[in-house]
Each structure stands twice: as C-alpha cells, then as structure tokens.
Amino acid sequence: MLCQKCQKNEATVFYKEVLNGKTHSYAFCPACAAQLYKDGEIQDTSFDFSDPFDLLSGKPFGLDNLFSGLFGVPQVESSNGIGKTVCPDCGMSVFEIRKTGMAGCPKCYENLRDLLTEMTRSIHGDVKHVGRVPGKLQEKYNKDGKLDQLKSELKDAIASENFEKAAKLRDEIKKMESDGQQKNGDASKEEL
Amino acid sequence: MSWFQSVNTKDKMVISSRVRLARNIQGYPFPGHMTNQQAAEVISKIGNVLGRNGFDQIDFKSISPLQAAAYVEQRYISPAFAKEKREHTLFLNEPCNLSVMACEEDHLRIQSIEPGLSLEKAYANAISVEEMLDAHMDIAFDKQFGYLTACPTNLGTGMRASIMVFLPGITFTGHINSLSSQLTKIGLTIRGAHGEGSEAQACVYQISNQISMGLSEEDIIKKLNEVVSMVVETETEAEKELYSRSHDQLTDRVLRAEGALKYAYMISSEEFMKHYVQIRLGMNLGIIKDIPEEQFYPLLIEVMPATLCQLSDEAIGDDARRDRARAAFIQKKLSKETE
C-alpha cells in the first residue's frame, strides 16, 4: 500500500482518528508520518517514527480524554490556505488542544482562533463574550463598541438614502478614529 | 469568624453563596505548561499585590496534610489544589471570605464566599480582588473570548457562581434527578456539595452556572437567584408534603436524631451527617424549637475530620479518638441552647 501523502513510498504507519463519532483511517510512510507529526497534523506523542514498529507499543489506554473527541474540529485553515496547527507562542498543537481540551497559553486563543472558536461553540453554544471587561481595557472597548454602532447606523442611513444623517455619522466616525490614532501616537511617543 | 460560622438564619435552605473568577496573566503560559521558575514569578507578582491588601500567603510546601485537608473542607481550595505537585500558593484574607488560589488550573482563581443567599455581595468582593490585581498586571482578555482561561469551559466571564442549598424534602420525595435534568436544560448544574456519593446523605447540594460565555455576570447571578428561589419554594412544599404524609414517622426520626447527637459518646462523620439532616429538617418544620440555628448550622463544616482537629487545636489521627472528640464538640455546642 502506498503512502497517502507522497504516493511514492510504502505505507507502514497506520493512523486512525475519530471525529464526531466517525473513524477516519490513514496510511503513511515513516518519513511523511514524521513530518505530519512535526507539523501537528497527527497527534500521538508516544510514537517514535524512527521505528515504525514502536506504533504497536502505543500509549496506555485510558478514559482521561474520552470526550475530547466531542470537540471534533475541522482542520484550521489560515487565510492563505496553509493549515496553521501549532501555537507559535507556546508550541501547543491543535491536536494536543483537542486531545486535552485545554489551551497552552493565552496567545493560543489568538493564534488558533478558528479552532478555539469552534470548541467554544460546542461547549457554550455561543462564541461572543458579553460581560465584564478588565478595568484597563474598558475605555478602549467602550469606544470600539460605540464605533461599531456608528458604522452600523451609517450603513442603515446609506441604505435608506438618508444622506444628511450619513454625512454626520461619517464625520463622527472619522473624528473618533483620528482621536484614537492621535492618542496611540502620543502613547508611542511616551514609550520612546 | 469564617463564612461557615456566620449564619444567615433568614435563608433556611440556603447555606452559602460563592463566586469564583478564573483569571490569567498575559505573557505567561497557563500553569499546566509553566516552568517552576515562571510559576514562582507569577506567585511573587500576585503576592506583592495581595500581601499589601491584607492577604496571608499560605505556602503548601510548609503546611501539614491535615491543614491542607481543612482548607478543602472549608472550601477555600479545590481537592486538586491540595494535591498539586507544581508551585502553587493560597492567599487568604483576614475575615476568611476571600481566597485566591495561585497557579491552580489558571494563574488566578479568585473565590469569594458569603453565608446565605448573597451572590451579589460575593461577586462584588471577588471583583474588588480582580481590580487590585488588574492595576498591577495585565489580565489576559480577548474581545471575542472574554477572560482567557486554560480550559475553554471557563471562557467568557470566567465566572462560576454557586449557591449551596439544603434540600432534604426534594431528596426524600425522590425529585432530585428530575430537578437536575431541568437545571441542565437552562445551563445550570446541581451536584452534591460534600464530594461524590455523600450528597444523598447530607442533602446538601451546589447549584451553579454551567455556561460562562454569552451571558453577562449580572445575567448569570439573576438567573441563579431566580432559580434558587423557585427551588427553595419547591423544597418548602416538599417538606410540608413529607410531614403531612408521614407525620409520626418523621417526628420519631427527628427526635431520635436529636437524642443521638445529644447523648452519643462517639460519632463518625457519616453518622453525624445522617442525624444532621433529620434535625435540620425538624427545625425547618418546627418539630425542634430549642436548638439555636447559629449553633447548629455551622456543625456541618465544623465537625468534618480536619476542621474538627483544627478547632480542637489537636491533630487527632486515631478514628476512635476523633469520633469521641466529635461527640463532645457537638454536645458542647448544643448545650449552649440552655445557656
């Protein structure tokens, strides 16, 4: 049987994955399997790809992560189409997060946003925080919220051809944005 | 005086209200992925702020297993925190209504407990601790996800609000499972408050929010308050029904339990729990009128093995001696009714 990835070498590594209750089987040559593991595409850390027979020893059976498969998440794709599977800040892979149900660092949520958004949806049925904001960020988020609201009102005004209102809203938005830029500029000067 | 010793007799079925906030500090991996050095750094940052604000730092490397067990019984820490092998520390304030677990599953688990139905107060106190810390460090937050936590189950508000309730009526009329499935449907959960398997014995449960994302803190508290007042109404009805259905048997059980607690020479935790439920139910129904609630209610925590040793100022390792000490402690408290 040929490796499903390179289609050249003999497949000696057989990999099974259960997603949403469905079992998917793959067969790879040791070199491709090692590369996929390195890229975080396949998950078992007990595998030693220098010796494919080590697969048989596997890792001990346990129920610790029985339900982690419930967070069946599709391959995370970045905008350029290349799968992003590891958090560059802490090295936590998509598979580790799915397996343990835990993130590695706060930055995982930014770096692997698509994956964690899907996990959050399956847990909470919602993906948007609506509660408290830490004190230091309150001013910023209140302003962001106000800007979003003005932009949405502008859209409505244009759609209903209320151009007078639209012009006023546009000026207000511009003023808020330029105030923000000014403030950011001042802050970076202070930092220097 | 600890939270479990101050009694709010207004809410007979509500024991306490607790709010726990999960928070993390930007720039560090979550505790499960930290080096000991990073954990020590985080603990020191937290300690610098809390130390100036009246919190004591309790180093788990230097306390006895008995002391650690007492903190678990008194709900200042989770059982997992007591067993944790990595660097971790507990911060506890003087009135003992606020505790902060540093480097549990998250960098910070801020916990606030109040007697009776008082989630708003517990929340306000927990937030005051967050504000203290927020002024000196960057709390990990994302506009979409809210407070960033190691486990996505805590995302959003990072808040778990829970109310500890005493529900013998609902338990003995066989409606606990039905209550549990109804609560699950509205994003809440109920579980035994004294560890796995003990809930049926103690009839003490914890009702808390399961969902922390997509609802504001105020919404969660409002929902829990509404649900708990409905549960309390149902409990009152269930107790009345129980009493009218089996008046003689119930009265007999309650008075026998009172006799056992007043006159036993030795009493185990399990036996105490059984009698505690009957007596507290008897007090609710007016069968027992002469035991003061302020003396009796706190026994629930006071006579747990490690707390009993702590309050007796003696590490009693031997079960039989501890059972004797428990019986004596209970009798001393109950004798205060005549003082």
Q: What is the pLDDT of residue A39?
A: 66
CB B130 within 8 A of CB B21: yes
Helices (H) and strands (E) counted in chain A, each on its own, are 6, 2
B140/A132 Cβ within 8 A = no
Report domain extents, chain B: 2-237, 247-338
Q: What share of chain B is helix, strand, coil (3-state, %, to 5)?
A: 50, 15, 30
Cβ B29–A105 below 8 Å, yes or no?
yes
B135 lies within 8 A of chain A by CB = yes
Alpha-helical (H) ranges within A27-162 are 30-38, 94-100, 108-111, 113-124, 135-159
Mean pLDDT of B101-127: 96
Does the pLDDT of residue A52 top 70, yes or no? no
Q: Is the pLDDT of residue A78 over 90?
A: no
- Chain B residues with CB under 8 Å of A99 CB are none
- Which of B141, B159, B216 has the most A C-beta neighbours within 10 Å, making it the best mutation to test the interface with A? B141
Contact between B150 and A102 using a beta-carbon 8 Å cutoff: yes
| Closest in A103, A128, A129 to B150, CB measured | A103
Indicate the Cα dihedral angle B223, B227, B230, B235, nearest 10°: -160
pLDDT at A83 over 60: no
Q: Mean pLDDT, to the nearest integer, of B273-288? A: 94
Q: Which of residues 159-188 of B touch A (CB under 8 A)?
A: 159
The answer, yes or no, to whether residue A72 has pLDDT greater than 60, is no
Question: ipTM of this model?
Answer: 0.85
Q: How many Å apart are CA A143 and CA A133, to the nearest integer?
A: 12
For testing the chain B interface, which of A129, A140, A142 should be mutated: the one with the most B CBs within 10 Å?
A129
Cα–Cα distance measured from residue B136 to residue B45, given in angstroms and rounded to the nearest whole number = 8
Cα torsion for B89, B91, B92, B98, to the nearest 10°?
A: -110
Burial tier of B125 (Cβ tally within 10 Å: 0-12, 13-18, 19+): buried
Residue B260 at interface with chain A, using a CB cutoff of 8 Å:
no
Q: Hey, are the CB atoms on B156 and A124 less than 8 Å from each other?
A: yes
The answer to whether B254 and B275 are in contact (CB under 8 A) is: no
Residue B167, pLDDT > 90, answer yes
The verdict on a CB contact (< 8 Å) between B213 and A136 is: no
- Interface residue B212 vs chain A (CB under 8 A): yes
Mutation site for A-interface testing, chosen from B105, B127, B134, B144 by largest number of A Cβ within 10 Å: B144
Half-sphere exposure of A185 (CA within 13 A, CB side): 6
Q: Is the CB of A129 less than 8 angstroms away from the CB of B146?
A: yes
Measure B189 CA to nearest chain A CA, in Å.
14
Gyration radius of chain A's alpha carbons: 24
What is the predicted pLDDT for the residue at B86? 85
Q: Return the pLDDT at A186.
A: 54
SS3 B87: coil
Residue B207: pLDDT band with limits 50, 70, 90: very high
Q: Is the pLDDT of residue B256 over 80?
A: yes
- pLDDT for position A41: 67
Say which residues have a Cβ less than 8 Å from residue A28's Cβ, sequence separation at least 6: A3, A4, A5, A11, A13, A15, A36
pLDDT at A175: 84
Question: What is the predicted pLDDT for the residue at A53?
Answer: 36
User: Nearest Cβ partner of A129 from B26, B29, B156?
Assistant: B156
Residue in B26, B140, B153 closest to A123 by CB: B153
Q: Do B217 and A132 touch (CB under 8 A)?
A: yes
- Contacts A92 to B, Cβ<8 Å: 33
Q: What share of chain A is helix, strand, coil (3-state, %, to 5)?
A: 50, 10, 40
Residue B193 and residue B204 in contact, taking contact as beta carbons nearer than 8 Å:
yes
* CB atoms near residue A62 (< 10 Å): 7
Determine the average pLDDT of the residues in B229-244: 95
Alpha carbons B230 and B225: distance in angstroms, whole number: 9
Pairing of strands B159-166, B204-209: antiparallel
pLDDT-wise least confident of A15-24, A59-68, B86-95, B225-234 = A59-68
Would you say residue B235 has pLDDT above 90? Answer: yes
Nearest-CB residue to A104 (from B29, B127, B156): B29
Q: Does B255 reach chain A within 8 Å, measured CB to CB?
A: no
The model's confidence at residue B103, banded by pLDDT at 50, 70 and 90, is: very high
- Using the predicted structure, report yes or no on whether residue B173 has a pLDDT greater than 60: yes
Amino acid at B26: Q
Say yes or no for a CB contact (<8 Å) between A103 and B156.
Answer: no
User: Chain-wide mean pLDDT for chain B?
Assistant: 91
Q: Which residues pair with B101 in a beta bridge?
A: B90, B109
Check if B151 contacts A (Cβ < 8 Å): yes
Contact A105 B153 (CB under 8 A): no
Whole-number percent of chain B with pLDDT over 70: 96
**B2-237: CATH number:** 3.30.590.10
Look up residue B52 and give its two tokens.
Answer: 């100036």
Q: Most A CBs within 10 Å: which of B26, B110, B213, as the mutation test of the A interface?
A: B213
* B33 with A104: Cβ contact below 8 A: yes
Which member of B127, B144, B151 has the closest CB to residue A129?
Answer: B144
Please state, for a pLDDT cut of 90, what percent of chain A lies above it: 22
Is A113 in contact with B153 (Cβ distance < 8 A)?
Answer: no
Q: Which of B149, B150, B215 sits opposite A130 (nearest CB)?
A: B215
Instruction: Give the pLDDT of residue B242.
Output: 94
Q: Which of A103, A117, A120 sits opposite B30 (nearest CB)?
A: A103
Contacts of A147 in chain B (CB under 8 A): none
